[in-house]
Structure formats: C-alpha cells, structure tokens
Structure 1
Amino acid sequence: MPTTLNIALIQTDLYWEDPETNRKMFEDKMASVPDDVDLVVLPEMFTTGFTMRPDKIPLSESQETLEWMKKISKQHNKALIGSIIFQEDEKHYNRLFFTTPDGNLESYDKKHTFTLAGEDEVYEAGNKKLIFDFKGFKICPLICYDLRFPVWARNAEDYDVLIYVANWPKKRINAWDTLLKARAIENMSYCVGVNRIGMDGLNYEYPGHSAVYDVLGEPLVFSKDNEILYATLNKEHINVTRKKLKFLEDRDTFSLKG
C-alpha cells in the first residue's frame, strides 16, 4: 500500500469563457509536470472562469472537457481533479471531476452555490458529499464557497486529504488563507487549496494563495505566483499524529440532511 502521494497544484490565469484555449493552456502546463506526480489539481471552473453565463458555453463543451480530462490522465499517467460547467437534463452544475489513468471517474456537484454572485440562480446545488480512495489515501474534494461551511467538510469519514478548488477573489483572500488552515487543523487531515490568479471578465482579481497544509495546519507549500506547486503527502504523518493526538475521537456525532 502506498504511503506517499505526490501532488501538483496548477495556479494560473484563465481565459474568460474560452474552454478550448484553457484546455490547450493546461495541456501545455501538464507537459512540464514531473513523472512522479500522482495527482494534478486544477482550479474551479478551469475552462471558463467563474462565469454566471453558462448559456454562452456550447453544450458540447461539457462532455468535450470531460473526455479531455480522461485523455490527459491516461496520456500523462496522472489523476486529474478540477471543476467545470456541466450541463445535464437541461440544468447547469458546477461539477468537479476526478479522473485516473485507468479510467476511474468520480464527480461532485458544488453543495454551497455562491449566492453573492447569483450562482444559486444559475447552477443546481449538489447534496452529496464525495469520498474516494486513491493510492491508499481517502480524499474529500470540495469547491470554493464550500470552504466557509465546516459542518459540510467535517471529517466524519476519517478521510486523509481535503481538497478545495476555487476562484477566490483578492478582496476576501484573508478568509481563504485562514479557513484552509482551520479545515486542516479541525479535521486532522491534509488540506489542499488551489486558487486561480489574474483578472476575470468581470474585472474581479484573483491572487492565488494556493497552498497545502499538513494535519497540524503547518504549510507545506504556498504561493501567489503563476506557477505549478508541488507537495508530497505522507500517510505516516497522518497516522502518527492522529495516534498521538486523538482529537478526532472526541468529535461530535451528527447526520446531515440534503
């Protein structure tokens, strides 16, 4: 059973509402990711930016990007994770996909749609938490605004890694930094946050601040620049720390209703 997981976080600007150009850009960046990386994490809505105009995106782009993720995973022998606009049954979703080289596919629909931007009026909210296994690690992926809701992220499943993909603006970046660290500490899990950079089509600025925190909230990597970040997650760090500090054993028990 593997005891380490090598991850890459692609923090970059995005081309506004332009899936084809964004796919090409990420494809170029993937070419520089080392062979020993197991998982590559992309930002929220990585083919379009955080647009509230899904009707401007051709219906075919949903499936085309999903097929692209499958192709890239297989081509580079790495898992991919990131969210896109996905249309299904005449409804739009901010849907995260996880793809692996052997064809495994998992998906998660953003639970907390961002009411401040009207996301709740355009995209359907999800109601199911996703936990999946990858190379010996239990992973829980969430999307942007979900970060503000600790009950939804609460580690009732003994997962090892919490991943947030985001378009988190500069004006509220202090909350992003603080809450990522808090989610790691309270859940005693690695917490990975990937944010975009640059200006979007509505002139909102995004400053990056992508990061990985260990189970004690210590940063492994952090950056504001347009770059690819790397980190190695260690299962022994999780097991040893949880055995020594049994905080999760004292957690409150509860159930969630969708």
Structure 2
Amino acid sequence: MAQKLNTAIIQANLKWEDPQENRSLFSKEIKALSEDVDLIILPEMFTTGFSMNAERLAEQTDGLSLQWMREMAKLKDAAVTGSLIITENDNYYNRLFFVFPDGTYKIYDKRHTFTLANEHKTYTAGKERLVLEYKGWKICPLVCYDLRFPVFSRNTEDYDLLIYVANWPKKRVFAWDVLLKARAIENMSYCIGVNRTGKDGNKAEYNGHTSVYDGLGQNMTELDREEPFVKEISLDKKQLEETRSHFKFLQDRDEFSLK
C-alpha cells in the first residue's frame, strides 16, 4: 500500500480530430515526467477533442490509442487514464480507460451524456460506476458532465480519490471550479479535475482550470491556470485518513442505492 500517490495532471491544447498529433503531444509530456510518478491523468477524448464525428473517429477497444496508453504506462511504470471515442457492438461510447502499469485496464463509459451538445444522439450512456483499487488507493474515475450529478459520485465505498477528465468550456468554467470543490468536500476525498485549453472545431473555447482538491476542499494547485501545463503533485493517504477520523462526516451520510 502506497501512502503517497504521485500524480501527474496534463492540461493540453488538443488538436481537433487528430489522434496521431495528440498522441505525439502527450508522448513528449509523459516522457518528460519524473520517475516517481504513479498516475498520469489526461483530458476527456484526449486524442480528438469533444467531437460528435464518432463514425469517422471511433476506434475499436484494442485500437492504436489504447495500445499507446499501454505503452506509456509500461514506459513510466505508472497508471494512465483518460477517455477515447470507442465503437463496440454497433454503439459508440465516450469511454474512460484506466490502464495499469502491467497493461491491464478497467473501463468506465460516461454515464451522463451532454444533451446540450447532443452527445446523447451519438454516444450510448454507460450504466455502471467504476471504483477501482490501485496501490492501496480506491479511485473513482468519471467524465466531464458527470460532475453536475452528485448522487452518482456519492462516496458510498469510501474511495480516496475522485477524478474527472473533461472538455469543459470557458463559458461555464465557474461551475467547474465550484463543483470540483463541492465534490471534494461532500465526499471527503481528493478530487482532481483535468480539463483542456484552446478552441475546438466547433469554435468552443476552453481555458483549463485543471485542479486538485484535498478532502476539505482546499485547492492544492495554482488557481485559474488557463494555458497548457503539466504538474506533478503528491496525494497523502495518511493525511486524508486523519482528516476523516477527526471530522467523521462520512459516518453521517444518508443510505441509498442507485437504480
């Protein structure tokens, strides 16, 4: 069990619908990371941007982008996570992969498709939440619009880290900032949101604000970072456990189940 989880967050200006260029961009950033990194977090649809052109861009599960994620995980001996456009059984999914250093992986299909952009008309919504274990940490990875739905992320399994990978636009970044902090506070968990920068092919503008919050909602990163950047930050499980032991807020949570 690792008391510290050394996490790398990569906020990038994604190249619109250009998987090869984006993989090349992230390869350079990942190769430059320290040897101590345990977990590397990339944005939502990190090879394409938030595109509805799934018929042209979708990959099979064992396509080039997952192969690349496995190569990066092996290279750095670290887990790598982010979402891709995937086709399976005649459906398209906005699918998050959590790839372990040994090349095995877990998947999560985005539950809340973004109806404002008609994502629901292209992508099939997932049904199951994923909580996985990695180096003694319980981690719940989610995708972008999921951030607006606190019931789905409610910490009923005592997870330690909540992750949101996103393409969250500048015009609503205030909600991104507030909700990430709220999810950390209400779940007494580390909460990481990794967003992108730049403009996409639909002229939507993104200004990042990638952030890491501790279990009391304190921001552990610089606020309002609007340009591409890479940051390594260490999460401390002992500190989280001490916070939970002292305040005990999770013991008073309501009991319910999702149906």
Q: TM-score, normalised by structure 1?
A: 0.97
1:103 aligns with 2:103: yes
Contact 1:82–1:98 at 8 Å: present in 2 too?
yes
Q: How does 1:70-109 map to 2 (within 5 A)?
A: 70-109=70-109
Q: Aligned-pair RMSD on alpha carbons?
A: 1.1
Change (3 A) 1:215 1:124: same
| Partner Cα distance (1:240, 1:69) in 2 | 34
Following TM superposition, the consecutive aligned residue runs of length 4 or more in structure 1 with deviations greater than 3 angstroms are 58-62
TM-aligned CA deviation for residue 71 of structure 1: 1.1
1:246 aligns with 2:248: yes
Change (3 A) 1:227 1:170: same
Q: For 2:231, which of 226, 229, 232 is the aligned residue?
A: 229
How many pairs were matched up?
257
Percent identical among aligned pairs is: 54
TM-aligned CA deviation for residue 63 of structure 1: 1.5
One-letter code of the match for 2:13?
Answer: D
One-letter code of the match for 1:234?
Answer: D
Unaligned 5+ segments in structure 1 are none
Aligned to 1:43: 43
| Partner Cα distance (2:60, 2:125) in 1 | 21
Q: How does 1:211-230 map to 2 (within 5 A)?
A: 211-222=211-222, 223-230=225-232
Q: How does 1:77-156 map to 2 (within 5 A)?
A: 77-156=77-156
Contact 1:190–1:214 at 8 Å: present in 2 too?
yes
Q: TM-score, normalised by structure 2?
A: 0.97
Aligned to 2:15: 15
Unaligned 5+ segments in structure 2 are none
Change (3 A) 1:253 1:68: same
| Partner Cα distance (1:72, 1:236) in 2 | 29
Aligned to 2:171: 171
- Could you tell which deviates more after superposition, 18-27 or 60-69? 60-69
| Partner Cα distance (1:20, 1:70) in 2 | 16
TM-aligned CA deviation for residue 59 of structure 1: 4.1
Report the secondary structure of 2:221's partner residue: strand
Aligned to 1:188: 188
TM-aligned CA deviation for residue 72 of structure 1: 1.1
TM-aligned CA deviation for residue 56 of structure 1: 2.1
| Partner Cα distance (2:122, 2:62) in 1 | 16
Aligned to 1:52: 52
TM-aligned CA deviation for residue 2 of structure 1: 1.3
Contact 2:60–2:86 at 8 Å: present in 1 too?
no
| Partner Cα distance (2:169, 2:91) in 1 | 26
Contact 2:6–2:235 at 8 Å: present in 1 too?
yes
